[in-house]
Each structure stands twice: as structure tokens, then as C-alpha cells.
Amino acid sequence: MTMPGDTTTVPRPAPPGAGSVSLRDVAVRFRGKQRDVTALSGIDLDVRDGEFTAIVGPSGCGKSTLLKLVAGLLGPSSGEVLLGGERVRGPRHDIGYVFQRAALLEWRSARRNILLQAEMRRMPAQDARRRVDELIEMTGLTGFEDALPHELSGGMQQRVALCRALLHRPPVLLMDEPFGALDALTREQMNTELNRIWRETGTTVLLVTHSISEACYLADRVVVMSPRPGTITETIEVGLPAERDYTATMGRPEFRDATTRIRELLGAVTAPLE
Ligand SMILES: Nc1ncnc2c1ncn2[C@@H]1O[C@H](COP(=O)(O)OP(=O)(O)OP(=O)(O)O)[C@@H](O)[C@H]1O
Ligand SMILES: [Mg+2]
């Protein structure tokens, strides 16, 4: 994510601790014409540098609002938000953000969509090209560098969006239902890739998802939220090793325990959601 006037030139690996995220007694209230909405209330959350945290909860409980607070796109009505130990006071240029839809420019190739991030940051062209090559290889897009978005599958488009978000080596990657529009098999594949990319980059990840199994497969911890006003009902430690084989993970007791507990908390005990 970049704002006009950003003069960052050379991306460097983030210093230790840069990826820690803290929310302290955070509330967000929106003023409406008809009524005010309290989206979040009493949110306390500490995410360690490099940790993978998933956020699940009913629609409208404030998950996207929470990510926007961390990105500095929105200020809390009360409480404080810290990134790398520093209070977030405005839009953060150093983070990565991936949305549900890839939001690619239709007239630019995959490579040039990724390079957009570099152009906005005025990164030296050679560094940027090297980094794009690295990311294209890491995400399995080799051979599709020159394809236009409409020539790519939904999964490939999300990979391009992921590359763009990772180009500047962000200490924190925010993902808001990034795989919601994909078919089940592509989603599994993207989950496996995201697990590997997270291990390789060491970036802190905050992932909002409606899929309980996706949350438990990917995350160290899963934050379960209540209906609006969103509060944290419980935080579940998944307790699986960082490197996860998809099929083997599904059969592990830690995975079953975590998914069962989350279903109970969300009141979905009768039918598995996914
Ligand atoms: N800019 C805004 N102005 C007014 N109300 C807002 C604004 N943004 C969000 N809200 C309200 O805040 C609440 C939380 O919204 P948010 O988008 O964070 O929910 P969510 O958990 O991401 O939902 P979903 O799972 O459907 O994406 C909702 O009631 C929404 O209507
Ligand atoms: Mg949302």
C-alpha cells in the first residue's frame, strides 16, 4: 500500500520486532444519519512479530474494520493501535494488503501489475525487477509474467495481488478474505502456498476468513469474534508445527480440536461450515 509522497527507495528486510501488532482497549464507533454503530469494543490483541493470526466471526462483527485500524486507514474512537511498537497515526505505507478481489489493472500484464507497487514507491528499476522475478517464482507464476489479468485464472490473479503486496517486503501482511472467491481446490492450493510463503518471508500475517478450516490450517492462533459490537470471544492456539501438509494436517487432533472449539464458539455445532 502506498500513498502519494512516499519517498521510500530501497526495500530492506524489516528490523526485528517491526511486525508486532498491538491493539489496546480499542473501540470503533461510526456515526450514521439514522443511528450510530459500534463496530468494535474492548479489543485487546497482541500479535508477535512473524506470527500468523487468523480472525473469524460473523458478518458485520468488525473484522475488516480491525484490519483497517492496523493499516491506519481508520483511527480508533478510543484505545490505541501499535505497529512495531509505534502508535499508528495515519496510513501505513510499509504494510501489504490483499483484498477479496485481486483489483488488478486490466491493461497491464501480471509483471507490470506487480511492478505498480515499485513505481509508486520509486524503487530502483533493477532492484524491483529482481524482486518481481523472485516473487513470480515463489508463487508459481513463471510463464505467465506477460499475461493480462483476463488471461489468468482467479487463483493466478490472487497470486499476482499477493506478489504486489509482498514486493516491498512488508513486516505485516493484512489479508481480507483473499480466497473467498476461489473454488475449493484452488483455495486449498493457495493455502498451501501461503503457508510456504509465510515461512519463507517471516512476515506477520493477519488473515480474515470465513473458513474455519482455512483459519486452523494456516494460523498459529485464531481470534474468534462475537457479533456486533465485535469483541474477542476467545483466542485459540492451534498448536501445529509451522510447516503443514494439507491432508495430514486435517487429520491431526490439534486441528480437529481447534476447529471443533471454534464451531462451538460461533454457534455452528451441528453442521460443519467448511
Ligand atoms: N465507514 C463506515 N461507516 C459506517 N459504518 C461502517 C463503516 N464501515 C463499517 N461499518 C459498519 O461497521 C460494522 C463492521 O463492519 P466490517 O466491514 O468491519 O464487518 P466485517 O466483520 O468485515 O463483515 P463481513 O464479514 O461481512 O465482511 C458493520 O455494521 C458495518 O456496517
Ligand atoms: Mg469484511
Interval 119-160: pLDDT, tens: 988 889 999 999 999 999 988 899 999 999 999 999 899 999
Indicate the pairing of strand 37-47 with strand 232-237. unpaired
pLDDT at 120: 87
Protein residue closest via CA to atom 25 of ligand 1: 59
Q: What is the rounded distance in angstroms from the CA atom of residue 176 to the CA atom of residue 100?
A: 6
- Report the distance separating Cα 18 and Cα 4, nearest Å: 23
Q: To the nearest 10°, the Cα dihedral for 78, 82, 83, 86?
A: 120
Split at pLDDT 50, 70, 90, the class of 12 is low
Tell me which residues have their CB closer than 6 angstroms to ligand 1. Answer: 30, 32, 37, 39, 59-65, 228
- Does residue 68 surpass a pLDDT of 80? yes
Average of per-residue pLDDT across 18-36: 94
pLDDT band of residue 102 (cuts 50, 70, 90) is confident
Q: Which atom of ligand 1 is nearest to the CA of 31?
A: 4
Domains annotated on the chain, with CATH: 21-95+171-265 (3.40.50.300), 104-169 (no CATH)
Which residue puts its alpha carbon closest to atom 8 of ligand 1?
65
Q: How far is CA 91 from the centre of its chain?
A: 16
- DSSP tally for the chain: helices H, then strands E: 8, 10
Q: Where is pLDDT greater, at 102 or 28?
A: 28
Cα–Cα dist 148/241, whole Å: 37
